[in-house]
């Protein structure tokens, strides 16, 4: 942790009372502002001036370009540094802010009567500082006005601002400040799963569906009634037995007060994977996250039952990320920002040892996330990848976009709506399929092109043929030069999930992401057991030497925004990416 010397602190304290110092901090310019209140939200009231906020300040990382360069080096199978992942200490050193940034930010805090040494939290690299400030103080610091905004669909309220400014000098030192213009919360962000009508074939929960299925003859029933046996056969993992269980781990990031239920997992094992009965997983509670076993979550149970169902006996870790207390109009106490990605990422990156594989099944429309916030979060995923973790995200369940698909920049244009964090170039995004023999794209599979992130070089050669074949179709509705997603796909329809002791059918790319994560975790197990490094950030590998390890999906589309959407085709496409994983082929390719 970098701090100013006592001399500099004292000097800053003296100068804060001088007109020169005031001029330094009074020259402000806009950092970010919404043209209109984000859709779904409405202004409710003015918060009390003494309502406390947990303000996070994201400082610019002095050697970020070097971190990204290192990420690509250790993730590119053609590079001599492939697999030489960075340690926590090496990553922390690369993301540390420049001393000038620390001096400027700490001097600014002192100007507002805040002692930097009293910061509530500092990340290990020093690039994130958390302080507690009142609404009145935050308004003075950011030259803004806060309001209480209400989200009717989720029933949640937040204290946010429509825009904020910073002293001009600080724009070169600060990436983002929260809570400000990001309105996403635990309740308003979307889980990418949903309950489906129950297949007629499942008439008795006590019936056993645990029998192994030959990969040479995956029954048609697996196209509508998906079990671990179906997936293990479909993606060729049935014969693989994990060996590196003392080292290899699989992590699931949970939000929305979703709790993975221990009893339901055992019922699931007794029904669908009898050799795993008795196996457990680790509960980790982050930032007030809970573990309410009396309230099993559809999303949480789906995730843990299928990561375990594929990766057993690999140790699984479920992270319950909370935000407490919620904002109530008649209760004004210290409130968390309710910005889940930051809470979870800062926690994970502060750990010395982390799982080699992660899956997450939540997201927002990209345009609802301020770009500076999205970039800051995406760069945190780059840190995870540099440390050797493979990160899967579901691509979303609204095809090329849900709702009216109108822009929120005041022009009200209808365009395709990419999802975030699915659009981050440092994660592996997973679309959905359905049926078997062959698999086809499922209609809700999220996919498209980012408007925030440029198309990374690792995928250009794979994406170009699709764009060439598409021609002028959908011209103006998407950004052809943006990061293209999904990267891969897996089944996402008819998953049999035990919830409260009963089996329900669940669909969504929330099912696809943990499925791919389970397969990748087995590949990591194989490499670790062979004395090799885990795969880490997957995309440079899967778009190059491992491309042939995926089964191309050739039909189906992802309609949305009142349009037919993109169509699956030979090679990469923005519905199913490169296709679905074949473990045995991939195992040979990563050996």
Catalytic residues: 299, 303, 510
Query: 10 Å Cβ neighbour count for 506?
Result: 25
Report d(CA 62, CA 99) in Å as an integer: 9
Burial class (CB in 10 A: 0-12, 13-18, 19+), 520: buried
CB burial readout 25-52, b (16+ within 10 A) else e? beebeebbebeeebeebeeeeebeeebb
Q: Which helix (H) or strand (E) holds 529?
A: helix 509-529
Torsion of CA 225, 227, 229, 232, to 10 degrees: 100
Task: Determine contact, residues 434/223, Cβ cutoff 8 Å.
Answer: yes
d(CA 230, CA 434): 12
Q: Which two tokens stand for residue 405?
A: 């698909």
By the 8 A CB rule, do 374 and 426 touch? no
Which residue, 98, 91, 90, is CA-closest to 175? 98
| Residue located via tokens 């040979």 | 588
* Alpha-carbon gap, residue 192 to 184, rounded angstroms: 15
| Burial class of 154 by CB neighbour count within 10 A (0 to 12, 13 to 18, 19+) | middle
Of 282, 252, 269, nearest in space to 191 by CA: 252
Distance CA(345)–CA(253), nearest Å, equals 10
The SS3 call for residue 475 is coil
CA–CA dist 342, 175 (Å, integer): 14
Angular region, 527: left φ>0, alpha ψ -120 to 50, beta rest: alpha
Tokens of 510: 């929330």
Closest C-alpha among 316, 319, 229, 234 to residue 274: 229
Dihedral pair phi/psi, residue 24, rounded to 5°: -60, -40
Which strands sit side by side in the sheet containing 362-365, from one edge to the other? 190-191, 362-365, 419-420
- Decide: helix, strand or coil at residue 61: coil
CA-CA distance, 519 to 586, in Å (whole number)? 10
Query: CA-CA distance, 535 to 538, in Å (whole number)?
Result: 6
Q: How far apart are CA 396 and CA 443, in angstroms?
A: 11
Torsion angle defined by CA atoms of residues 124, 128, 131 and 137, in that order, rounded to the nearest 10 degrees:
160
CA 201 to chain centre: 34
Task: Answer yes or no: is 552 a known binding residue.
Answer: yes
Question: Would you list which residues are annotated within the binding site for Ca(2+)?
Answer: 552-553, 571, 573
């Amino acid at each position: 942790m970098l701090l100013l010397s006592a001399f500099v602190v004292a000097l800053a304290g003296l100068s804060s009372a001088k007109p020169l110092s005031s001029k330094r901090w009074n020259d402000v310019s806009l950092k970010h502002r919404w043209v209109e209140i984000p859709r779904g939200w409405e202004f409710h009231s003015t918060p009390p001036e003494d309502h406390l906020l947990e303000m996070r300040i994201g400082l610019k990382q002095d050697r970020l370009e070097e971190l990204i360069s290192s990420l690509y080096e250790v993730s590119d199978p053609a590079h001599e540094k492939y697999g030489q992942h960075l340690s926590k200490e090496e990553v922390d050193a690369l993301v540390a802010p420049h001393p000038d940034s620390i001096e400027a930010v700490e001097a600014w805090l002192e100007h507002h009567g805040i002692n930097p040494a009293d910061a509530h939290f500092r990340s290990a690299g020093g690039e994130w500082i958390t302080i507690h400030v009142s609404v009145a103080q935050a308004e003075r610091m950011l030259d803004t006005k806060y309001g209480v905004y209400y989200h009717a669909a989720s029933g949640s309220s937040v204290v946010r601002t429509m825009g904020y400014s910073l002293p001009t000098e600080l724009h070169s030192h600060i990436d983002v400040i929260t809570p400000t213009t990001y309105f996403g919360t635990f309740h308003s962000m979307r889980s990418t799963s949903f309950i489906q009508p129950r297949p007629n074939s499942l008439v008795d929960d006590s019936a056993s569906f645990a029998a192994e299925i030959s990969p040479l003859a995956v029954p048609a029933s697996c196209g509508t009634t998906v079990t671990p046996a179906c997936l293990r056969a479909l993606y060729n993992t049935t014969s693989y037995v994990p060996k590196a269980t003392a080292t290899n781990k699989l992590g699931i990031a949970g939000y929305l007060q979703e709790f993975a239920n221990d009893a339901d997992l055992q019922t699931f094992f007794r029904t669908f994977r009898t050799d795993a009965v008795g196996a457990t997983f680790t509960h980790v509670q982050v930032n007030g996250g809970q573990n309410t076993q009396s309230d099993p979550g559809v999303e949480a149970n789906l995730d843990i039952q299928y990561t375990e169902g594929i990766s057993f006996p690999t140790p699984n870790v479920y992270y319950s990320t909370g935000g407490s207390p919620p904002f109530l109009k008649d209760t004004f106490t210290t409130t968390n920002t309710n910005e889940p990605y930051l809470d979870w990422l800062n926690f994970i990156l502060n750990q010395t040892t982390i799982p080699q594989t992660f899956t997450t099944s939540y997201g927002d429309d990209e345009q609802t996330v301020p770009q500076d916030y999205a970039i800051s979060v995406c760069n945190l995923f780059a840190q995870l990848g540099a440390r050797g973790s493979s990160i899967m995200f579901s691509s979303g369940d609204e095809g090329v976009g849900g709702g009216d698909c109108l822009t929120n920049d005041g022009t009200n244009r209808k365009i395709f709506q990419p999802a975030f964090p699915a659009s981050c170039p440092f994660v592996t995004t997973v679309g959905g399929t359905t049926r078997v023999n062959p698999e086809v794209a499922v209609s809700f599979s999220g996919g498209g092109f980012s408007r925030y992130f440029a198309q990374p070089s690792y995928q250009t050669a794979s994406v170009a043929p699709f764009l060439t074949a598409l021609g002028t179709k959908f011209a103006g509705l998407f950004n052809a030069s943006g990061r293209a997603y999904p990267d891969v796909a897996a089944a996402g329809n008819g998953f049999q999930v035990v919830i409260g002791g009963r089996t329900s059918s669940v669909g969504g790319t929330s099912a696809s992401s943990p499925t791919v994560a389970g397969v990748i975790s087995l590949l990591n197990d194989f490499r670790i057991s062979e004395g090799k490094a885990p795969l880490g950030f997957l995309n440079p590998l899967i778009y190059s030497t491992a491309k042939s390890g995926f089964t191309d999906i050739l039909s189906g589309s992802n309609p949305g925004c009142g349009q037919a959407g993109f169509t699956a085709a030979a090679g990469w496409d923005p519905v199913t990416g490169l296709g679905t994983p074949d473990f045995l082929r991939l195992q040979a390719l990563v050996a």
